[in-house]
Structure 1
Amino acid sequence: MKWLAWIAIIMTVLFVLCMADFYIGRFIARKRGKRPNFPFRNGNMQLLVRGEDLFSHYFADLLKAQSSIHILFYIVKNDPFGDLFFNILMNQAQKGVKVRLLLDWFGSRTVSKQLIQKARKSGMDVYYCNKPGFPFFFFTLQRRNHRKITVIDGKIGYVGGYNIGKEYINLDSSLSPWRDYHLRIEGTGAADLQDVFLLDWKRATGEENFDEQALFPPLSEGPVTYRFFPTEGIGAEEEIISHIEKAASSIFIGTPYFIPPKKVIDSLERALKNNVKVTILVPRVSDHPIVKEASFPYLRKILAKGGTIYQYKKGFFHAKVLLFDDEVCDIGTANFDYRSLLLNDEINCFIYDREFIAHVKKIIAEDIMQSKKLNDRDLQSVNLRFRVIECIGGLIKGLL
Structure 2
Amino acid sequence: MQSAKKLHKGAGFVVEIVYWIIILFIGLTLLLALDFSIGRKRHLAQINKQTFPLRNSQLAIFTNGPDLFEDYFTEVKQAKKHIHVLFYIVKNDSFSQEFLEILIKKAQTGVEVRLLVDWVGGTVSRKYKKKLKEAGVAFVQSQAPKLPFLFYTSQVRNHRKITVIDGEIGYTGGYNIGKEYINQDKKLSPWRDYHVKLTGEGVQDLQKEFLLDWKKAAKIDLLQNQLYFPSLPKGEIRHQFIPSEGNLLEETLYDLINIAEKAIIIGTPYFIPSDSIFRQLLKAIDRGVSLTLLVPFTADHPLVKEASYTYLRKLLKKGAEVHQYKKGFYHAKVLVIDDKLCDLGTANFDKRSMFLNFELNCLIYNQDVIRQVKTILYQDLLDSEQVSLSDLNRFNPFRSLKERAAQTISYFL
Q: Which amino acid aligns with 1:171?
A: Q
Distance in 2 between the 1:123 and 1:390 partners?
48
Q: Which amino acid aligns with 1:246?
A: I
Counterpart of 2:99? 85
Counterpart of 1:102? 116
Give the RMSD, CA atoms, in angstroms.
Answer: 0.9
Counterpart of 2:246? 233
Change (3 A) 1:34 1:211: closer
Change (3 A) 1:382 1:103: farther
Counterpart of 2:64? 50
Q: Which amino acid aligns with 1:342?
A: F
1:303 aligns with 2:348: no
1:65 aligns with 2:79: yes
Q: Which amino acid aligns with 2:164?
A: V
Counterpart of 1:368? 381
Distance in 2 between the 1:253 and 1:317 partners?
12
Counterpart of 2:351? 338
Q: Which amino acid aligns with 2:26?
A: T
Matches within 5 A, 1:25-44: 25-44=39-58
SS of equivalent to 2:298: coil
Residue identity (%): 47
Residue from 155, 158, 165 that aligns with 1:152: 165
5+ long unaligned stretches in structure 1: none
CA contact (8 A) 1:33 1:234 kept: no
Q: Which amino acid aligns with 1:77?
A: K
Counterpart of 1:258? 271
Deviations 1:120-176 (A, max 9, x none): 101100010000011110000111000000000000000000000000000001000
CA contact (8 A) 1:36 1:235 kept: no
Distance in 2 between the 1:392 and 1:19 partners?
18
CA contact (8 A) 1:35 1:234 kept: no
Q: Which amino acid aligns with 2:248?
A: G
Residue from 225, 228, 235 that aligns with 1:222: 235
Deviations 1:252-279 (A, max 9, x none): 1100000000000000011111110011
SS of equivalent to 1:228: strand
- Quick check: which has more Rg, 1 or 2? 2
- Give the CA deviation at 1:382: 5.0
Distance in 2 between the 1:242 and 1:343 partners?
19
Q: Which amino acid aligns with 1:208?
A: D
Q: Which amino acid aligns with 2:80?
A: Q
- Give the CA deviation at 1:111: 1.4
Q: Which amino acid aligns with 2:146?
A: G
- Give the CA deviation at 1:35: 2.4
Distance in 2 between the 1:173 and 1:188 partners?
40
- Give the CA deviation at 1:327: 1.2
1:166 aligns with 2:179: yes
TM-score, structure 2 as length reference: 0.95
Distance in 2 between the 1:219 and 1:169 partners?
31
Change (3 A) 1:62 1:211: farther
Residue from 126, 130, 134 that aligns with 1:113: 126
Q: Which amino acid aligns with 2:28?
A: L
SS of equivalent to 2:390: helix
1:395 aligns with 2:408: yes
Distance in 2 between the 1:379 and 1:24 partners?
37
Distance in 1 between the 2:287 and 2:223 partners?
51
Counterpart of 2:20? 6
Distance in 1 between the 2:308 and 2:151 partners?
24
- Give the CA deviation at 1:213: 2.2
Distance in 1 between the 2:265 and 2:163 partners?
27
Distance in 2 between the 1:324 and 1:206 partners?
39
5+ long unaligned stretches in structure 2: 1-14
Residue from 213, 216, 222 that aligns with 1:203: 216
Counterpart of 2:335? 322
Deviations 1:187-246 (A, max 9, x none): 111100111100110111111246722200000011100000001123110110111111
Q: Which moved further from structure 2: 273-282 or 380-389?
A: 380-389
- Give the CA deviation at 1:20: 1.6
Q: Which moved further from structure 2: 11-20 or 322-331?
A: 11-20
Change (3 A) 1:47 1:382: farther
Q: Which amino acid aligns with 1:197?
A: F
Q: Which amino acid aligns with 2:316?
A: L
Q: Which amino acid aligns with 2:143?
A: N
